[in-house]
Structure 1
Amino acid sequence: MATVLLLRHGRTTANAEGILAGRRPVGLDDDGRAQARAVGGRLRGLPLAAVVSSPLPRCVETLSVALPDAVPALEPGLIEVGYGDWEGGQLHTLAKDPLWPVVQHHPAAVTFPGEQGESMPAMSARAVAAVRAWDAKVTSSHGPDALWLACSHGDVIKAIVADALGLHLDQFQRIVVEPASVTAVRFTPTRPFLLRLNDTGADLRVFVAPPRDRGDGQVADSDAVVGGDAGRPAGDASRAADG
């Protein structure tokens, strides 16, 4: 079977402001465009048999910067989670919602509130189905050694990785997928193989965090950032919240 490179979009203006963007049409900020250019330098020249994208602007923009000559196929199955009434909320405020600890510890039981709210199992099922269908299509057309790219969102990629590892969805919050990171999965007839996870090509000094003040209302250290971590800007070891 083919190998898929799962690319998360670059950092957005919502990421920088600690807002859960959901399906809102937010764009990349300056750091996000820099991240897209950097990952583009790593991707250009690869024999990509297909380039597929979530239809949301932040993914399409990431690809337009990273791979300007590519014409991505838009795949609705790779769209961001439908966060419903949570969409557009500040993460530090959402962290006080009674649903937050359920999202952290039992996401398989979560359906986000509101008419547009999606369940986490439904998100996982449609994302995994989309990736597997595209992988089978690419393999059929280009052979088992083909390489292809799918650009999507933090929680979506985490769910695909959890499936590849055979993890229950309740464990997917243990996975981190940063902006503009590359994760590689190879599906086979018997099992998937996770070949690379959250590869940003970043300097390892980003893990050395400066002292920081955890003011009241901040997301706890042991909590996963809903939507995915915002990563760290180049030259800055501080954390930011995602959306």
Structure 2
Amino acid sequence: MATLILVRHGRTTANASGILAGRLPGVRLDETGLAQAERAARRIGVVPVAEVVTSPQERCRQTARAVLGAQRAAGNPLRARTDKALAECDYGDWQGRPLKELAEEPLWRTVQRQPSAVTFPGGESLVVMQHRAVDAVRRRDATIEAEHGPGAVWVAVSHGDIIKSLLADALGMHLDLFQRLHVDPASVSVIRYGGDRPFVMATNTHDGDLSWLVAPARQAPAADAAVGGGAGPGAV
């Protein structure tokens, strides 16, 4: 099976000022966010990546450019593919407003306690958001595996709620539980989609070697779960 590396964009000016950016144009990484994106890119740079897919929002494209730069430095010249299905949730009328102000809205408690019941005024529902992201990622993963083989690794750069919804789906969690997951700016999470089930390999990581994601040429990732936990990466 192929391996998906999920990267949230680095910190933005909106994140730092407590604004729900949504799909507003002109929201870019701040200095901290740029450094975070470079750090994530260096971690991923040790892995030969088959493809980089990004949300159309500028902050994700900036982060994807850092990932591409590290790949090119390692001799892997890639270009990013943009996928609208990985775009930020359409928060509608909430977009551009301070989080402190939104926390006073009656809908805020529903967002926290029952996300599956939420449709943002003038925007989309969290259920629709999850469905479009999961469908896009699973289809892309199958295509990459067919084109590059079961040991292929690819990167998707997206947003906090999108990545949380993908992780919740992979973990078999109802969307109403996805607020239990945490996805920081420029964090790395890893999923493998098997024929019977997905495997969540890592969530919300900020540091550490990722070379273990590269399977030996003779050994594709195992399709079954090892009873007892298995021997870990590198086992023959």
Q: Which amino acid aligns with 1:20?
A: L
2:68 matched residue in structure 1: 67
Which of 111, 120, 123 in structure 2 is aligned with 1:112? 120
- Runs (4+) off by over 2 Å: 65-70
Aligned to 2:100: 92
Other-structure match for 2:48: 47
Q: 2:14 matched to which residue of 1?
A: 14
1:41 is displaced (CA, Å) by 1.1
Contact 1:54–1:80 at 8 Å: present in 2 too?
Answer: yes
Residue aligning to 2:222? none
Of 175, 179, 182, the match for 1:173: 179
Deviation at 1:45, TM superposition (A): 3.3
Q: Structure 1 residue aligned with 2:207, among 182, 186, 201?
A: 201
Q: Equivalent residue for 2:129?
A: 123
Does residue 163 of structure 2 align to residue 157 of structure 1?
yes
Q: Which amino acid aligns with 1:46?
A: V
3-state secondary structure, aligned to 1:145:
coil
Between the aligned partners of 1:37 and 1:124, the Cα distance in structure 2 is 28
Equivalent of residue 111 in structure 2, options 96, 103, 114: 103
| Distance in 1 between residues matched to 2:196 and 2:37, nearest whole Å | 34
Letter in 1 for 2:204: N
Give unpaired runs (5+ residues) of structure 2.
73-77, 209-236
Identity of counterpart residues, as a percentage? 52
Whole-angstrom distance in 1 between the partners of 2:88 and 2:10: 14
1:42-74 deviation per Cα after TM superposition (whole angstroms, max 9, x unaligned): 111311011100011000011212322441100
- C-alpha distance in structure 2 between counterparts of 1:38 and 1:59, whole Å: 15
SS at match of 1:151: strand
Quick one: which amino acid aligns to residue 59 of structure 1? Answer: C
Separation of aligned partners in 2, 1:27 and 1:123: 22
Q: Which has the higher helix share?
A: 2
SS of residue matched to 1:99 = helix
Instruction: Report the 3-state secondary structure (helix = DSSP H, G, I; strand = E; otherwise coil) of the residue aligned with 1:124.
Output: helix
Residues 6 and 155 in structure 2, CA contact (< 8 A), matched pair in contact too: yes
Q: Quick one: which of 192, 196, 214 aligns to 2:198?
A: 192
Confirm or deny: 8 A CA contact 2:11 2:185 kept in the other structure: yes
Contact in 2 for aligned 1:38/1:66 (Cα 8 Å): no
Segments of 5+ residues of structure 1 without an aligned counterpart are 203-243
TM-score, normalised via structure 1 length: 0.81
Q: How far apart in 2 are the matches of 1:162 and 1:54?
A: 19
Letter in structure 1 aligned against 2:20 = L
Number of residue-to-residue matches in the alignment: 200
Once residues 67 and 4 of structure 2 are traced to their aligned partners in structure 1, the CA distance between those partners, rounded to angstroms, is 17
The equivalent of 1:132 in structure 2 is 138
